[in-house]
A and B are shown apart, each in its own frame.
Chain A
Amino acid sequence: MMYLPNGLVRRCFIPGEEENTSPGFKTVKGSEKFRANGDATPAGIHPLHLTSTMQPLSRHREDITLLTGLDRPYKLGGDAHEQGASCYLSSVSPEEASDKKLRFLQGRTLDHVIGEKLGRGSPLKTLEISCNGFTKGKESMRFDNISWYDVDRVAPSLKDPQALYDRLFLSDDARYNDHLHEVTSLVLADAKSLSSKLGRSDKDTLDEFMTMVRDIETRMARLRKLIAEAGVARPTDEVLPRGEYIKLQCDLMIAALHMGITNVTTMMIGPERWNASMLYEGVFDKPVVHHAMSHNQRGDRYKQLQEIDLFHMEKYSYVLSRMKAVKEPDGSSLLDNSIVACGVGLGDGATHQYFDLPLMLAGRAQGGLRNNLHFQCPNGTPLSNAWLTIAQQLGVEIDHFSNSTGTLSALTS
């Protein structure tokens, strides 16, 4: 799952919206009236037309399906960007959220639901990656993480390529010496005696801690088998240009998938909002602030913003090419056996709209998925229908996900 922050330039990305102009800054509520205008394309299956932003994907048109017109549920409260990222993959429906009095529709995310099933045999159930080079916590973690174990329980994304490498390949022996098992069992025994006289919240903290301790141990056992095979070099700690950095993170992600270290990964290609300037090398000659640009698409400014979309689209294309090049023993490619989704949490950076979201799916999921299509969903189709379809394609036996109303059967073959 690849996530693009701060929306896309709609008129450059969505087929049929080429003539639209940006409505300027709108709040989520304010954006509602655009919904009434209807869709540019009638609902149903169309041949895939590659719009200007999608050009970097031309090599892969055979592998891609574009979905448009998906709606994400939204709950009043908090920031649109914050919800965009942290609730994008959430399994919580609006009803559940109001029952549990949640502030957002936030809860266990799709990757963990799938990881529960697909991760049983792999050392890591899921892998969370983010290409946010800032180490200081400028915004809350909800802007920077799309993967959550549960409400307010973040699955922290790895930002540093070295840290990511170490997590995947355990390059440092001192961290994993032979006594790990004895040590963890001592800690566990000790904690057992501790837990009896604690208050409720402290007990929860302790339980959480213990789960992590056990987790390390299981991981260790599975990983030992794979370490020897790792032929990837540990990244140096030099500061890379943004494109190189994203590519490096993608390379490590693909290595993890290839080696079977994990089967489910999420990748944020950049943080939501995060009003800090980043240098998109080869695009602009000085650092720019993506969020600020997304709010100002008047005149010709959208063309500059599109450059960033293209920059991100090239990275998606890069991932697809790499995955296509990785061959499995039976001659099929890694891409043939996967679903590589790429989507946005906001339909437009300027309007903060949470409806009419585009989503791209690539890969054949071992023949389960049709490609080279553009599927315009009927008005009001929940995004969770797409998530449910993906989950079912990957063999997860569930019949609903969040507020889903069914699967997108047009996509499956």
Chain B
Amino acid sequence: MRPVVCLFAFCLPAALPAKVFEEAIFPILQKSCLKCHGGEKTKGKVDFSRILTERDADAHPDLWETVAEVVELGEMPPDDEKPLSEEDKKTFELWHEKFQKVPSEATVPVFRVRRLSANEYRNTLRSLFGFDLEVGIARAEQTVSGESSLVLKILPPDPPGSSGFFNDTRSAPISSSLLESYTYLAGVALDKLFSVKGRVSLASMAGKGDDWDGMLSLADAETFLRSFLPKALRRSIPEKRFQSILATLEGKAGDTLASALKLELKALLISPEFLYRGFLAKPVGDGGRQAVDAFEFAERLSYFLWEDMPDASLFEVARNGGLEKEEKLAQQVKRMLSDPKARNLSESFGVQLLGLASIDDQFKNDPIRLHALRTQPRDFLNYLFTEDRPVMELLDSNVTFVNQNTSGFYGKDRQRLAPFHKPRGVERQRTMNQRLELRDAEGRGGILTMPSVLAMNHGPIIRGTWMLRRILGVRLGEPPADIPPIKPNARGQKLTFRQRFELHRENVTCARCHEKIDPLGFSLDGYDKNGRFLLASYHKRGNQPIIDTSGKLPSGEEFKDFAELKRILLSSKREQVIRHLTTQVLSYALCRKLGRGDQPVVEEITRKALLQNATWTQLFIEVANSIPFRQTVYKLVKDGTKLEN
């Protein structure tokens, strides 16, 4: 082994062997790491046994980041194991240095079709038909905050894909029960469209006025199809396709015509072209790397910003090639963000970005409080996303959203809220959030100190891990299963929770994560489990013990309270936060986990965003204009099958 390593280390600056990873790094991993991080023991969810080649290694940039960090600090291999030899260390560092260098050019993965997520399917169906499918039984508001959408009630929830987002549906295969659900939903939607309830929608698509009696003529059916088909398939449809459907309707009238039309439509709604995105995308020439076609691009854009199909206006712009120029694209993005459908960006992307769904689980027994807690961060995110607010206002903003249930957290500021009215006889009610400018409230501003987020994550450890993962983009993995429990206080011992964790950190294995988690988490100790700010001057604390919220980050910055930590996040951690948010936006927009080939794009957008103090709108535009969003690679098979017709 030795000669190989030396040879490699010497010639590194000049030329690297083609298989550096396989020849130099893999043996080191085998020798020094695999015992605990590979195979059945995957401490910290780090598993090297799956990384066999340079290509595999490419797919885990975050992992190598961590490895480099722990190797440099000497944290790994742990003290009770044989340390890495100097040569091995050097080899790894040299390799990582090269690896870390962001590739100079972005690469794009091969195009893959993707099934619509449950949310995307619901929204698409709604936009297509002009009405929502609702669960039959209406429920009292006070009792259940249940799901009213029939689609979401029937379709199984999507598991998060490898990107962590639900729209990454590639790993959840189609099953026959899923297909049955689609068939059922298509049937329900069509029945409604052709019933009295759906007449307004049908009339508008068949070119009829409001006073239409519902009798469909062959000409009406054609008008309807010419409007419906391109919308459903999200692109222009060749004339041939219309003709073949019209041929089956020929000579029919009245109810026979309607049922023949319904049949065709039902087939369309459970066809792969409708349920998946990308089956109809048109590669140019023999494939290879190229820009996606205009309709595919419009579709990408609208599912990104709206979680929904393109509307008529976007469709028109796409047809005329209007999205190719950056300024035109920027205009479209701005228009789309001002549309009410952009609410889905906070409801879906925002909620998944910050893991807000756990609010729903925790407070489901108190619908009024749940309503207050779940809408507060969503309204705030919606404000940031759609009103062109700077990206960093996520952490620091002087605007918040408050309703009757949460107003108590905002001190004197709540006096400026419009009064809440309560009808007679109602004890508690849900109230809409009002936008509130923060002036006097202490310890508020930004998502981190929002009462609902603090109530969702109570306890310093959960708050710390949440902040690391959701704001700074650091994933720690699962704690090892064999950790000793945090010791309870012995008789007569009066250690605080914080002091007990300081003891816990004396164990090297524990310190590895807890030195990152604890300072962040304990800085929020001034907020109780409901999110109340105990340290505010208007709370009399009497003889309560002093709360220590100071800390020191592993990178060296010290702070005495959360306000100072926030300043650190906004200054020296700013780049890390923006890079994380960029990564997440790009990953959500592309509906996939990012790879090494996407890194140049992430870096470029992060750099621009830092320079310009970018707003969310600018970030969305940059992502929509990025290479992986605009381009793809088509690999076509030529297996000799002839084209049908």
Contacting pair B41 A213 (CB below 8 A): no
B644 an interface residue at 8 Å Cβ cutoff? yes
- Collect the chain B residues with CB atoms within 8 Å of residue A227's CB: none
A27 an interface residue at 8 Å Cβ cutoff? yes
Q: How far is the CB of A218 from chain B (nearest CB, A)?
A: 10
B361 an interface residue at 8 Å Cβ cutoff? yes
Contacting pair B39 A29 (CB below 8 A): yes
- Collect the chain B residues with CB atoms within 8 Å of residue A311's CB: none
Which of B157, B176, B283 is the one whose CB lies under 8 Å from A212? B176
B495 an interface residue at 8 Å Cβ cutoff? no
- A197 CA to B175 CA in the complex, in Å? 24
Contacting pair B481 A180 (CB below 8 A): no
Contacting pair A76 B40 (CB below 8 A): yes
Give per-residue flags for B344-368: 1 if the beta carbon is below 8 A from chain A beta carbons, else 0. 0000000000000100010000000
Which of B184, B278, B482 is the one whose CB lies under 8 Å from A25? B482
Contacting pair B278 A186 (CB below 8 A): no
Contacting pair A77 B50 (CB below 8 A): yes
* Interface-facing stretch out of A8-16, A92-100, A200-208, A337-345: A200-208
- Collect the chain B residues with CB atoms within 8 Å of residue A172's CB: 184
* Interface-facing stretch out of A106-114, A151-159, A244-252, A326-334: A151-159
- Collect the chain A residues with CB atoms within 8 Å of residue B156's CB: 156
- Collect the chain A residues with CB atoms within 8 Å of residue B42's CB: 78-79
- Collect the chain B residues with CB atoms within 8 Å of residue A203's CB: 637
- A182 CA to B259 CA in the complex, in Å? 12
In the complex, which of the residues A182, A184, A190 has the most CB atoms of chain B within 10 Å of its own CB atom?
A190
A167-B177, A179-B263, A183-B266 known; A136-B157 Cβ under 8 A: yes
Which of B263, B275, B276 is the one whose CB lies under 8 Å from A182? B263
A59 an interface residue at 8 Å Cβ cutoff? no
Chain A residues 158 to 214 lying within 8 A of chain B, measured CB to CB, are 158, 163, 167, 172, 174-177, 179-180, 182-184, 186-187, 190-203, 205-206, 208-209, 212-213
Contacting pair B175 A78 (CB below 8 A): no
Contacting pair B634 A196 (CB below 8 A): no
B112 an interface residue at 8 Å Cβ cutoff? yes
B70 an interface residue at 8 Å Cβ cutoff? no
B571 an interface residue at 8 Å Cβ cutoff? no
A177-B187, A212-B174, A212-B179 known; A201-B112 Cβ under 8 A: yes
Contacting pair A174 B357 (CB below 8 A): no
Which of B41, B177, B267, B644 is the one whose CB lies under 8 Å from A183? B267
Contacting pair B111 A213 (CB below 8 A): no
A28 an interface residue at 8 Å Cβ cutoff? yes
Q: How far is the CB of A191 from chain B (nearest CB, A)?
A: 6
Contacting pair A199 B635 (CB below 8 A): yes
Chain B residues 75 to 118 lying within 8 A of chain A, measured CB to CB, are 110-113
For B188, the closest partner residue in chain A by CB is: A174
- A25 CA to B482 CA in the complex, in Å? 6
Contacting pair A180 B636 (CB below 8 A): no
For B49, the closest partner residue in chain A by CB is: A77
Which of B40, B279, B357, B635 is the one whose CB lies under 8 Å from A194? B279
For B146, the closest partner residue in chain A by CB is: A237
- A194 CA to B279 CA in the complex, in Å? 8
- Collect the chain B residues with CB atoms within 8 Å of residue A72's CB: none
Q: How far is the CB of B229 from chain A (nearest CB, A)?
A: 12
A135 an interface residue at 8 Å Cβ cutoff? yes
- A390 CA to B31 CA in the complex, in Å? 42
For A206, the closest partner residue in chain B by CB is: B272
Chain B residues 609 to 645 lying within 8 A of chain A, measured CB to CB, are 634-637, 641-645
Contacting pair B159 A140 (CB below 8 A): yes
A215 an interface residue at 8 Å Cβ cutoff? yes
Contacting pair A192 B175 (CB below 8 A): no
Contacting pair B276 A205 (CB below 8 A): yes
A156-B156, A190-B271, A213-B179 known; A198-B263 Cβ under 8 A: no
Which of B41, B270, B641 is the one whose CB lies under 8 Å from A195? B641
Contacting pair B40 A28 (CB below 8 A): yes
B339 an interface residue at 8 Å Cβ cutoff? no
B191 an interface residue at 8 Å Cβ cutoff? yes
Residues of B participating in the A interface, judged by any CB pair closer than 8 Å: 38-42, 47, 49-50, 110-113, 156-160, 171, 173-180, 183-184, 187-188, 191, 259, 263-264, 266-267, 270-273, 275-276, 278-280, 283, 287, 357, 361, 481-482, 634-637, 641-645
Residues of A participating in the B interface, judged by any CB pair closer than 8 Å: 25, 27-30, 74, 76-80, 103, 135-137, 140-141, 152-156, 158, 163, 167, 172, 174-177, 179-180, 182-184, 186-187, 190-203, 205-206, 208-209, 212-213, 215-216, 219, 295, 352
8 A-B contacts (beta carbon < 8 Å): A103-B50, A163-B177, A175-B180, A195-B641, A196-B643, A198-B636, A206-B113, A209-B275
| Given contact pairs A136-B357, A153-B173, A212-B174, a sample of 11 additional A-B residue pairs in the complex whose CB atoms are under 8 Å apart | A29-B41, A77-B47, A152-B173, A175-B180, A190-B267, A190-B273, A194-B272, A197-B643, A198-B279, A205-B276, A216-B179
Top 10 nearest A-B pairs (CB, nearest first) are A76-B39, A28-B40, A186-B267, A175-B184, A137-B159, A193-B644, A27-B41, A25-B482, A212-B176, A199-B635
